[in-house]
Amino acid sequence: MSKVLVVDDEKSIRLTLCAFLRLEGYEAFDASDAHEAIEIVNNNAIDVVVTDIVMPGISGVDLINDIRAVSKDIRIIVMTGEPTLETAVQSVQRGASDYLSKPFRRNDFLRIVGNAAQMKTMIDEKQRLEKQNIEYQHHLEEMVRERTDALRRATIGIVNLLSQVVEFRDPYTSGHQRRVGNLAARIAEEMNLEKSTIENLRIIGYIHDIGKVAIPAEILSKPGRLTSPEIELLKSHSECGYEMVKKVDLPSYFADAVHQHHERLDGSGYPNHLKGDEISIESYILMVADVVEAMELHRPYRPSLGQESALSEIQSNRGVLYHPKVVDACLRLFDSGYKIDDKLYEVSVHL
């Protein structure tokens, strides 16, 4: 039941009003002045204060200010023996919700207190629901965060698994896809592409040779030169990879980049001799990352050609085989001291 505080310097009035309230089931408190009233308000969750206006010391009107400093929700009813409009207006301006003109009847008193108590209950309920709503939202946000983290971990686990499937069959290129993915992401970053493109490119790099699972292992690990038919078979990995990736519900440039990473700007690449705008920017980035990584690292059929040769290859074929903007970004990156790494980064797929 609501808690009501009666403030009046006349003891008989206080006690009578409190008796009325208790008979109605309220928990009633009484105070003889403003100091005592504030003390009670501070220590009890008072719902309604009924206060006299004219009291020794702090007046009822000033008491309203003091109560409002503690709570804006407590309902305040002022009792006045001199019911001038001015006093009522002043009280309402200070934050009183209602007033009673002395003398008043028991029923009027209980009706006004009842209304105020009901209003306070509604305010409390509204606040409880708002708090509950905020807590629910926080809980929901936390759940979404947890699920997103779990999804991210699962994604990188699956991407890594796919990457390892290829490298298991082609052990000489161990770590190649991770290094290409990481370099491609850094080039995209250097080109100021969107974060989603950067992260997706990293994933594409990690699996770009997935089509090699369809190539016989003897070809993949054969030391020395491949025969022409073997080369043709090896080249089919980008087509095979495309067929595999396009079936997954991902942005289309995932499959396109896998398909096009051996195409070249002038149409001299494979499998479809695409040129210029027919090749996506993601593919151009992956292409340069693939070439630089492949030249820089040791291969079964040749030793490492070194970073210098790798960079001079893309520089001399800038605008011929490779997209100029991608080459420029890649050169800037290495100029600033970038070193290719094969770290497995935690990534999310951006759909």
Binding footprint of Fe ion on the chain (CB under 5 A)? 209
Nearest approach, Cβ of residue 260 and Fe ion (Å)? 10
Rounded distance between C-alpha atoms, residue 238 and residue 263, angstroms: 10
Nearest approach, Cβ of residue 261 and Fe ion (Å)? 6
Is the bond preceding residue 229 a cis peptide, omega within 30 degrees?
no
Nearest approach, Cβ of residue 319 and Fe ion (Å)? 22
Closest to Fe ion by CB, 190 vs 209, is 209
Rounded distance between C-alpha atoms, residue 126 and residue 99, angstroms: 24
Closest to Fe ion by CB, 113 vs 289, is 289
Maximum C-alpha span of the chain: 114
Closest to Fe ion by CB, 42 vs 221, is 221
Burial class (CB in 10 A: 0-12, 13-18, 19+), 12: exposed
In the numeric block, which tokens belong to residue 341? 């790494």
**Looking at the annotation, which residues are catalytic?**
212
Three-state SS string across 157-179, please? HHHHHHHHHHHHHCHHHCCHHHH
- The closest residue (CB) to Fe ion is 209
Nearest approach, Cβ of residue 229 and Fe ion (Å)? 18
Rounded distance between C-alpha atoms, residue 108 and residue 190, angstroms: 77
3-state secondary structure of 114: helix
Closest to Fe ion by CB, 21 vs 281, is 281
